[in-house]
Structure formats: C-alpha cells, structure tokens
Copies of this chain bind each other. A is one copy, B any other.
Amino acid sequence: MTPLTRYLPILTWGKTYQRDTFVSDAVAAVIVTIMLIPQSLAYALLAGLPPEMGLYASILPLVAYAVFGTSRALAVGPVAVVSLMTAAAIGNLGLTSAAEIALAAGTLAFISGALLTVMGVLRLGFLANFLSHPVIAGFITASGLLIATSQLKHILGIEAHGHTLPQILGALAAHLGDVSLATLVIGVAATGFLFWVRKGLKPLLLRLGFGARAADIIAKAGPVAAVAVSTLAVWALGLQDAGVKIVGAVPQGIPPLTLPSFSPALWNDLFLSALLISVIGFVESVSVAQTLAAKKRQRIDPDQELIGLGTSNIAAAVSGGYPVTGGFARSVVNFDAGAATPAAGAFTAVGILLAALLLTPLLYFLPNATLAATIIVAVLSLVDLSILKRTWGYSKVDFAAVAATILLTLGFGVEIGVSAGVLISIALHLYATSRPHVAEVGLVPATQHFRNIHRHKVETLPHAVTLRVDESLYFANARFLEDYVSARVVCDEPLSDVVLMFSAVNEVDLSALESLEALNHKLKDMGIRLHLSEVKGPVMDRLERSHFLQELTGEVYLSQYDAWVALKR
C-alpha cells in the first residue's frame, strides 16, 4: 500500500466503481436522506444550535468521509451523544449571542477534527481502547437518559435548561405551571406515533402484503411523516399563536463558507471538550464500523478512520456545521439498505444539499415538539440498563466502573461522567494488579502440570514451597510480593527452598527487580534458596542484563517440573 492509497482509501474502491455499486449506493442514500433530514434538524436543536447547522453538518462532512474513510457503511453526520456533548461544551462558555455560539460550535468541530487527524497520522487509534466496553455502554445509556429528559421541555412547551439530571428535573418542576397545552398535544401525539412506527408499523405493513424491503423503507419515513403532518397542523390551525414553538425561518441555500476562531482563549476553553468529543465520537463510530465490516468480512483501519472522521469535522467547521461522527442507527440503516461503498455517503450529502436548497421554506411552521419527539424515540433505543446486570454477574470491578459512569454522567454531566469512567476503570485495573493473586502450587499426580494446592489434589515437597505469581511484577506490586513471600516463609520452619513460578510474569521492571534482589538477600540470611521457573524469553532477556542472576542463591529452571525433579533429590 503506497502512502497515497493508505491516506486516500477512495483511490482503492473508486478504481473498481461500477454501475451496480452505484445503484446500491444511490438507493441507500435516498433512504438515509429521508431519515437524516428530520434528525439533522433535531440534533441541532439538541446541541442548542439553529436548525440549518444540522443540515450543513450533513453535507460537506459526508463528502470528506467518502474520500478519507475506510468503512463502507458508516453514515457520518450529527448524532445524539455528540450533539449533547456539544451543548455541554458550549454551555460552559456562557455565551449569549447566536453568532458567537455558532462560531464556538464550528471551532469545536475544527479542534476536534484537528485532534482526530493528528491522532490518525500518529497512529494513536489504540488509545480508544482505554475506553472500556462497560464505561462506553454506561456512558451511552446515561447520555440517552439525559437527552430524553432534556427534550421533555420541548414536549411540554416550557423553558428548562440544564446539563445534569438534577438540573433538568429541577428546571422542569419549576416551570411546570407554564405548560403549553397545544404543544403538549403535538409532542405526545408525535412521540406516540413514532413509537408505533418503530414497533407496530412494519408488522402491519407486512400483514397488509407489502414486501419486507418496502415495509422497511416506509417505516423509516415515519419521522418525515410526523414532520409533515405536524407542520401542516401548525400552519393550518395557526398554533404558533397558541404558544407552540416553531423552527421559524431557516436560511435557504448552499452551506456558507465559515472559518473557525483561532482565539487562544476560546481554544483553551474548548480543548478538553473537543478531546472528549473526539474520543467518544471515534469510539462510537469505530465500533459500529467494525461490527458492520465484520458482517461482510471486510476490515476497517482504525487509524485511517481517525483521519476520515477528522477531515469530516474540519469540513463541518468550514461549512457552517458542528461536530459530527458516525451514527449507530443511521449506519445500520445505510448498511441494511445496501450501501456498498463510502460513495453512498456522498450521495446522501447531495440529498441533504437539495433539501437545504429547496425544502427549508417548508420547515417554517415545523414545531420543536416534533423534533423533540424524534430525538426521544431515537435515543431511548440507546438506553440499555442491562449492562448493570451483566457486569454485576460477571465482575464487580466492571460493575463499579459502569455504575460510577452512569451516576456521574447523570449527576454531573457528560464530560465529568466519561472522564471519571475512564479514570475509574484504569484505577481499578491498577489497584487489582497492585495486589496480585499468588497461588501455592503442587504437582498434579501423573502429569508434569502444577496447580493451586487449595483447588486441586496435588503433591508437594516438605522442604520447598512453590509460589505462582499471577501478575507481571512492576512498581505497583513490587513490594507486595516481597512482603507476601516473607510472611509465607516466616511461619514455615523446615523450608530450605522457595520457587517462584514465573509463568504469568510478563514483565519485571526495575522496581520489581530491586524488590527481588532484596527478597533474595533476605531469604539468603534465613538460609533459604530462591529459585525461579518458567521465566519467559522476554523477561529472561532483561534479567540477564542485570546482576540478579549472578546473585541468585538458587537456579532458574526452564519448567516447573524441572524444578520439582531437581528439588526432590
């Protein structure tokens, strides 16, 4: 692979692009466009931005991804969680002017895009692995709950701002007297309709004799129908005068050329938020992309994905958009609809461009309540509290990480929630490795295999004890092993030999080496020899570079069985 084809995947798939592929891609693009028009408006509302920014974020970024991305099914654009994080990041700034808010959103997309691109070029995609599955699952669930709750204000037609669950619920409670009945009717009806579309429409259509594919496409158009009907209702009944908040004037035309701010103060304020948005967006996107690629035995390149998403966000920044990433639901729809190459995304961009050119005047009377209903129905599918049950059953450490992530996200907002989740899971992992499991082992009869004396029937030697250390030895547990062995030998008088079985020791760092030297010394004073067994190649290479092996009072045995045979004599 030349650098050019590595950084421009379009050169690879573009070379063999054919009419068949074009048709598949175009059909998928039509379906995704129908889904994306109301979503892009709704997510812009969620992000606290004017609706046209949602449309703009769905045009140029998709073209950029088509050029630089490696997933053949990923549908890039505004998504719920990143929109919520954008709202939180910009909310922190305390801006009031609409122009400043739009500039901040574009700048956020630019910083985020630059970070992603740099991480891609430096091949730092592996960093995303530090966001564990439980943490991301907990975070997405909590974000879904936060988003759904935050949209209730639009359904009720009241004012209620906040970035945490207590804030939002408090604000809702405080303004409950101001409920707009007309808005509530529209909101509840739209929500009910959309839930029914999601659960009941497709089976109904199938029973009515529609083909599976047609039923699918019609069901996907549900939000568009809700938008159309509620807009017509507002217009016909003049409900905007009855307190129903509407989208209002949306500029008509191609996306504007915008430039991000390069104010150091603004960059400083947005940097951490941009980093979190980048990482969360990348992890969400790459996991969808990998899942979908695996279904067709394709592979995606996580480092190139960083570049694809990075350039998409830079594209959003220069064309009036805000941070984007690959959306879960939309990508699945794109995949199911037959998208075969990233070109499907570019075709979707054309569809949204047409909408921006032609449809915006029709959106004037669109009620915010309908958009809120679209969001609520979309995000509730993200909420999955079963992760709590799964982790509780499997591992209390994972459970603690999930529970903390959910509670902190709900209680203190998305940025604190996800940062704390990552730090907590790393801290719990380090804590566990700092107090490793040590098993005293003996020979399983009639084999050369050694297992824990407390779990298996094994043979032991009276004058020798073998301890299997179940962890790499590094600074965090260096002293632990020294103390453990000292405590073990003190209570056992006739001991002459201690064997440390190193089958699970993958690293011995300098701190641990010094601790082993001290242990060797201490045991020597007590007249006990220290042996090692099953030391792995890479560990042995390193020990040979120190003086430890010369000072070691005992031997290093290739296998634990060799040690057993030698010590039995």
Does A474 belong to the interface (CB within 8 Å)?
yes
6 shortest interchain CB distances as A-B pairs: A132-B475, A448-B448, A449-B559, A133-B511, A470-B506, A398-B510
How near does chain B come to A341, taking the closest CB pair, in angstroms?
23
For window 390-440 of chain A, which residues contact chain B by CB distance below 8 Å?
390-391, 393-395, 397-398, 425-426, 429-430, 432-437, 439
Residues in B with CB closer than 8 Å to A513 are: 394
Report the separation of the CA atoms of residues A95 and B538 in the bound assembly, to the nearest whole angstrom: 53
Nearest B residue to A540 by beta-carbon distance?
B455
Distance to closest chain B CB from A526 (angstroms): 9
Instruction: Judge whether A255 is part of the interface by a CB distance below 8 angstroms.
Output: no
Q: Is the CB of A475 within 8 A of B537?
A: no
- A509–B391 Cα gap in the complex (Å)? 9
A504 at the interface (CB under 8 A from B): yes
Complex alpha-carbon distance, A394 and B430, angstroms: 23
Of B132, B434, B447, the residue contacting A448 (CB under 8 A) is B447
**CB-CB under 8 A for A434 and B126, given A395-B510, A511-B133:** yes
Say yes or no for A298: interface residue by CB 8 A criterion: no
Asked if A536 is at the interface (CB within 8 A of a chain B CB), the reply is yes
Residue among B430, B447, B479, B562 making CB contact with A559, cutoff 8 Å? B447
| Cα-based distance from A27 to B298 in the complex (angstroms) | 79
CB-nearest residue of chain B to A397: B509
In the complex, whether A92 has a CB less than 8 A from a CB of chain B is no
A558 CB within 8 Å of chain B: yes
Inter-chain contacts of A538 with B (CB < 8 A) = 437, 470
Complex Cα distance, B400 from A509, in Å, reads: 12
Question: In the complex, what's the smallest C-beta–C-beta distance from A552 to chain B, in angstroms?
Answer: 16
Q: Quick one: given A394-B545, A395-B542, A470-B536, are A511 and B439 in contact (CB under 8 Å)?
A: no
Given A130-B476, A455-B537, A470-B536: A395 touches B509 (CB 8 Å cut-off): yes
Asked if A93 lies at the interface with its beta carbon under 8 angstroms from chain B, I say: no
Q: A426-B430, A448-B448 are in contact. Are A132 and B503 (CB under 8 A)?
A: no
Identify which of residues 19-49 in chain A touch chain B, using a CB-to-CB cut-off of 8 Å: none
Contact call A522/B294, Cβ cutoff below 8 A = yes
Q: How far is the CA of A394 from the CA of B542 in the complex (A)?
A: 6
A135–B514 Cα distance when bound, in Å, is 14
Q: Mark A161-185, 1 if CB is under 8 A from B, else 0.
A: 0000000000000000000000000
